[in-house]
Structure 1
Amino acid sequence: MVQSSLHAATDKAVFDAINQHKVTKDEVLNMFFSRGVIVSKKTDKDDLAKEFSSFFHSYNDYENLSSILGVNNRKEKLTSYTLDTSLKVSDVEDSIKKIKEKIVDQGATVEHRVLKDGKKIELAITYQVLNLSKNDFQQVSVRDAILTIEETDSGLDIQHPQNKKLSDISDELIDVLESKDKNLQKDEIELSAFEKPKDRCKFFEFLTEGVEGFRCKDVTDTYVFNPSKKITSGQKNEVHITSASLKGTGVNLSDELKNLHEQGFYTWRVIWKAVKENRDSSDLYEFEVQFSEPEECKDFSFIVKGSYKRKDDGIVGEVSGHNVNRTPISLIEENQINKLINKSAWSAIEKLFAACATEGDENDDTEKQVVSA
């Protein structure tokens, strides 16, 4: 996919682009050399930028500067949902041509491959993102994403990076599949059914402690939310804090967080560190989960941020036992852990429903005792 621009860049835009630190002196010299002009390395870069920006520029000049100044895309959080359906991956594959046409209509290119003996399909999608707040050579960034469709006992699991473009593509996918199964139902991880702040907080406790094969060592970041209360007519405006965040060590055990929870705040985003169970040589992993819509606790997403390598000395899981700098983990291990986090999130929902049901039964028993008395 060609990295394009909305218009021809001005001389000033070219001048400013060449003067950015990303454009090295050698690259500027090569730009002149491509035009048959040899310049001295001693020539000031600012003078070279003035000279080159005064030339007539071709598409190749713009493309060259765009590639040098290209936007470094951050790794995105993943989101996942389940389709309760009788359809199999083989049924999806039968409709893959139509699905790919829908994706192309969204302005993207796509390739697909079938994995796990026909139980999984990966769609490799390349698309462009426009950001007019950037300079002329960074307005359009090219991104790559993987959308997976995996067959399970209950239907199909869909996973993709959480952004608007992939959400639109995901909706197109569902539209195609609904034409084959009218009873198809989409199930997502959300907490809109749990209105009590303590229940929403409990979800994150279940999740962080329930990742299979890992032991939570420390919750370092917790973000809380307190929805605005409706003000009735004639009532004076009151001071209301909507959100807050806590960073440090043992944040989940702090009195400050407990006080916020008691005041009606509930957790919507958490970053924590964990080690592999029964592994003295385990690296220290860092995970993050959140709801992008904190008020309703919807649009759940997760990410493996990386790991802190184990040192030869020190205690596993402690600062002394690991390197200071976080490093990426392998793609294979990342995919495995993503599945475990997602599984823990679904398990947390089930535990939360069970806990609420038990609490409801206890309340019913209490009411009966009061009535009997």
Structure 2
Amino acid sequence: MKRFGPALYFASDKVIFDSINQRAVNVDLVRELLEERGIFVSAKTPKDELAKYFSRLTADYFDHQSIAGKLGRVAKKERFTAFDIDNPIERQQIVDAVKEIKKELDERGEVLNFDTSNPDRVVIELAYDHIDYTKAELRQVQPRDAIIEFIKDSSGKYSVRNTHNNHIDAVVERICKFIGDSGAPISRTTVNLQSHPEAAKRTRFFEELIKGLAGHDLVTVTEAFCYKPIKGKAPGDDDEDDDEKELEDSPLVERVGLRGRAVTKSLVIDGLFKTGYYIVKVIWHVKPKSSSDSDVFELEAQFSEPKDCTQFSYQTKRVLIFEEGKITDKTRHPKAAEEAELAQLIEQAAKSAYKAIAGS
């Protein structure tokens, strides 16, 4: 298994002591670890005393795994991103490329499985370890899962949808490179506003997006994040009056977040727009038109690179349960079919919003 960077070969007494004393590790686990060694303790013994005693003992791999399993953070739900492949490619090219990538990932200890049962779709599931050496020793490794889909549309061309993070984006790039090596280089179309730097157009994109989901009504916008790059002082400009003017004209805050209900109708956000801020992320609620008592979906869309408005990504965050004629505080996770449908609708709405601001 190939790894890069430092590795944890031995957990010292201090590492074990500090790990056990974190809130995520309850006292029952410490008692269980001690009982496996034939050591029984009083229920009144405080956790820090148990931690001191256990940290002096020899801990094996399975002890480390038990503690790390309690410390490991639940991976937050990740966003998706998508792009269209403009030039025609064959399904077999995708399958062959995935098989080649699978060989590379197997050598790195990652697990890749793919499903070709649907003639219009190739679904790739990837299990890997996210490693962060800035965390405490027993929290450095976090197991993660990701999805990559090649989806064929009615015209015979493919679009790609994948979990959006640096690791998976790199895997997608490798697959596309293999496909390009077996035929014509991949040409793609992505949703980005790099060629439209006007703040009004970038804000209008999100206004069109949140209202553009087919078959759904906009309920409210709960969060809107605005951005305006800070312009630096021109080099060699030492005039005192110019310095004062620059401080007045240039914002000291790049990012502004607004939370509440109907935040896009707030006078505050109107003031931000007048000074050159534009929206780069929204969280909003939509309700299917097909039923008056259906649950409400909370959606999120953003540009991960706010300055150029590139790397568009989105997700279905949660579902708010509708009961007795009103939206309640009860929530549930979206079903797989609901997520797939909403992902397609968001992608379509994003393309339509881009066409609206581009005038074509």
Alignment gaps of 5+ in structure 2: none
Instruction: Give the TM-score taking structure 1 as reference length.
Output: 0.86
Are 1:294 and 2:306 counterparts? yes
Q: Deviations over 1:103-152 (max 9, x none)?
A: 44565221111142x22111111111122332221111111111111122
Which residue of structure 1 aligns with residue 37 of structure 2?
35
Which residue of structure 2 aligns with residue 238 of structure 1?
247
Q: 1:308·1:326 contact (CA, 8 Å) conserved in 2?
A: yes
| 1:60 alignment partner, one of 45, 59, 62 | 62
Q: SS of the counterpart of 1:267?
A: strand
Q: SS of the counterpart of 2:329?
A: coil
AA aligned opposite 2:350? A
Task: Write the distance in 2 (CA, Å) between the matches of 1:258 and 1:81.
Answer: 32
Q: SS of the counterpart of 1:28?
A: helix
Task: Write the distance in 2 (CA, Å) between the matches of 1:177 and 1:98.
Answer: 10
Of 206-215 and 81-90, more deviation after overlay is shown by 81-90
Using the aligned pairs only, state the percent identity: 26
Shift of 1:238: 2.1
Of 257-266 and 94-103, more deviation after overlay is shown by 94-103
Are 1:140 and 2:157 counterparts? no
Report matched runs for 1:266-281 at 5 Å.
266-281=278-293
Task: Write the distance in 2 (CA, Å) between the matches of 1:44 and 1:33.
Answer: 16
Relative to structure 1, the CA distance from residue 276 to residue 189 in structure 2 (aligned partners, 3 Å threshold; closer, same or farther) is same
Task: Write the distance in 1 (CA, Å) between the matches of 2:309 and 2:127.
Answer: 30
Moved beyond 6 Å, runs of 4+: none
| 2:329 alignment partner, one of 324, 327, 332 | 324
Are 1:160 and 2:162 counterparts? yes
AA aligned opposite 2:304? S
Q: Deviations over 1:141-167 (max 9, x none)?
A: 111111111122262211112111111
Q: Deviations over 1:21-55 (max 9, x none)?
A: 33333322221222233334343322221111101
Q: SS of the counterpart of 1:310?
A: strand
Task: Write the distance in 2 (CA, Å) between the matches of 1:42 and 1:260.
Answer: 57
Q: SS of the counterpart of 1:296?
A: coil
Are 1:338 and 2:343 counterparts? yes
Q: Deviations over 1:168-201 (max 9, x none)?
A: 1111111111102324202111001112111111
Task: Write the distance in 2 (CA, Å) between the matches of 1:104 and 1:265.
Answer: 46
Which residue of structure 2 aligns with residue 363 of structure 1?
none
Q: 1:19·1:46 contact (CA, 8 Å) conserved in 2?
A: yes
Q: 1:89·1:149 contact (CA, 8 Å) conserved in 2?
A: no
Which residue of structure 1 aligns with residue 196 of structure 2?
194
Relative to structure 1, the CA distance from residue 41 to residue 246 in structure 2 (aligned partners, 3 Å threshold; closer, same or farther) is closer
Q: SS of the counterpart of 1:112?
A: strand
Q: SS of the counterpart of 1:323?
A: strand
Task: Write the distance in 2 (CA, Å) between the matches of 1:335 and 1:91.
Answer: 24
Task: Write the distance in 2 (CA, Å) between the matches of 1:167 and 1:64.
Answer: 32
Task: Write the distance in 1 (CA, Å) between the matches of 2:93 and 2:179.
Answer: 9
Are 1:252 and 2:268 counterparts? no
Report matched runs for 1:1-373 at 5 Å.
6-104=8-106, 108-116=110-118, 118-152=119-153, 153=155, 155-229=157-231, 231-232=233-234, 233-234=236-237, 235-236=242-243, 237-239=246-248, 240-241=250-251, 242-313=254-325, 321-354=326-359
Which residue of structure 2 aligns with residue 365 of structure 1?
none
Instruction: Give the TM-score taking structure 2 as reference length.
Output: 0.89
Q: How many residues align?
A: 345
Of 210-219 and 22-31, more deviation after overlay is shown by 22-31
Task: Write the distance in 1 (CA, Å) between the matches of 2:183 and 2:173.
Answer: 15
Shift of 1:267: 1.0
Task: Write the distance in 2 (CA, Å) between the matches of 1:106 and 1:263.
Answer: 49
Task: Write the distance in 1 (CA, Å) between the matches of 2:198 and 2:316.
Answer: 29
AA aligned opposite 2:353? A
Q: Deviations over 1:184-223 (max 9, x none)?
A: 2021110011121111111111111111111111112111
